[in-house]
Amino acid sequence: MPVPSPLSQHFVRRPQRIALLQHIADQGSITRAAKSAGLSYKAAWDAIDELNNLAHKPLVERSVGGKGGGGARLSEEGLRVLRLYQRLQALQAQVLEAAEDASDLDLLGRLMLRTSARNQLHGKVQRIDSQGRNDLISLELAAGLTIQAQITRDSTQRLELHVGTQVVALIKAGWLQLLGADQAPIAGHNCLLGLIDEILDAEGGPSEVRIALPNGQTLCALAEAEQLRELALVAGKPVQVQFAPSLVLLGTPL
Residue 247's CATH number: 2.40.50.100
Return the minimum-mean-pLDDT range out of 77-81, 104-108, 193-197: 104-108
Could you tell me if 97 and 194 lie in one domain?
A: no
Is 164 within a domain?
yes
Could you tell me if 131 and 84 lie in one domain?
A: no
Q: Which domain holds residue 54?
A: 6-111
- Give 29's DSSP letter: B
Burial grade of 216 (CB within 10 A; 0-12, 13-18, 19 or more) = buried
Question: Residue 92: which pLDDT band, with cuts at 50, 70 and 90?
Answer: low
Could you tell me if 25 and 99 lie in one domain?
A: yes
Could you tell me if 145 and 222 lie in one domain?
A: yes
Could you tell me if 97 and 126 lie in one domain?
A: no
Could you tell me if 67 and 104 lie in one domain?
A: yes
Is 190 within a domain?
yes
- Give all strands (DSSP E) within 119-235, no chain letters: 119-131, 134-140, 146-152, 166-171, 177-179, 190-200, 207-212, 218-223
Q: What pLDDT sits at residue 1?
A: 44
Domain boundary among 111, 134, 164: 111
Could you tell me if 143 and 242 lie in one domain?
A: yes
The number of distinct structural domains making up the chain is 2
Among residues 44, 220, 251, which one has the least CA distance to residue 119? 220
Using only C-alpha atoms, the chain has a radius of gyration, in whole angstroms, of: 19
Q: What pLDDT sits at residue 6?
A: 55
Is 76 within a domain?
yes
Q: What pLDDT sits at residue 13?
A: 46
Could you tell me if 30 and 84 lie in one domain?
A: yes
Q: Is the pTM of this model over 0.85?
A: no
Q: What is the DSSP secondary-structure string of 239-252?
A: EEEEE-GGG-EEE-
Could you tell me if 242 and 142 lie in one domain?
A: yes
Q: What pLDDT sits at residue 88?
A: 66
Domain boundary among 77, 111, 145: 111
Domain boundary among 76, 111, 146: 111
Return the minimum-mean-pLDDT range out of 15-19, 75-79, 98-102: 98-102
Rounded mean pLDDT, 85-100: 62
Q: What pLDDT sits at residue 64?
A: 59
Could you tell me if 121 and 244 lie in one domain?
A: yes
Is 201 within a domain?
yes
Could you tell me if 202 and 89 lie in one domain?
A: no
The most confident of 13-17, 109-113, 162-166, by mean pLDDT: 162-166
Is 99 within a domain?
yes
Rounded mean pLDDT, 213-230: 94
Is 1 within a domain?
no
Contact 139, 125 (CB under 8 A): yes
Could you tell me if 184 and 232 lie in one domain?
A: yes
Contact 119, 107 (CB under 8 A): no
For residue 131, the SS3 value is strand
At 83, which CATH number? 1.10.10.10
